[in-house]
Amino acid sequence: MEKRGCEDVKRGGGRRREMNAKPGKAFGILVTFCAMFLFWLLLSGHFDTFHLTAGIICSAIVALISHDLLVKGKGEKMLLKSFRFIIYLGWELWQIVLANFDVAYRILHPKMPIDPRIIEFETSLRSDFALVTLANSITLTPGTITILVEPEKGKFWVHAIAKKPADSLLVDKTMQRKVTNVYMEGG
């Protein structure tokens, strides 16, 4: 019998026994537990023993039942992607603040410099998480709304309030590059 990695293989067409069936499963449960517990803490606002224990128990149950919804597959480089995503969230929140000022300026300006348009563009993104992240980032940023996503082609249709927000998606492509960097897709 030969031992390779996390599985035993018996020579001669015999049996194959895996010692660790899903090494990524524990990581998925841990990530889901941490996310749920942080969410519990934010919504609860109570930090006494009873509420913290209830939060731990509920978060553990949710993590065991639904970990595969948050972390799919083997989770290749999941820790690195998670770290990059947290950095991306900081950048996205700043973009939301800047876009709020831009939209407020357009609304309060006497001439209301609004020039609505629908734009379409393609990205190299193909994974569900990457496409959803970009679509939600566009919609969360005031002045732009994702209308439609065609996942097979990575094609997006977006409504923009004016030329400047549209150009940030068509010309600068900063948001697309940042999401591509987070999920390590395309070029």
What does the pLDDT look like over 15-74, one tens digit per residue?
444 444 455 678 778 888 998 999 899 898 889 999 999 999 999 999 999 887 766 655
Q: What are the domain boundaries of the chain?
A: 2-70, 78-183
The count of other CB atoms within 10 Å of the CB of residue 99 is 19
The rounded distance, in Å, linking the Cα atoms of 35 and 87 is: 16
For the whole model, what pTM was predicted? Answer: 0.69
Residue 76: the pLDDT is 65
CA dist 52 → 37, 65, 114, 155, 176 (Å): 9, 20, 49, 44, 39
Residue 5 has pLDDT above 60, yes or no: no
Give rounded-to-5 percent helix, strand, coil for the chain: 60, 15, 25
- Tell which residue, 11, 175, 21, 9, has the closest CA to residue 99: 175
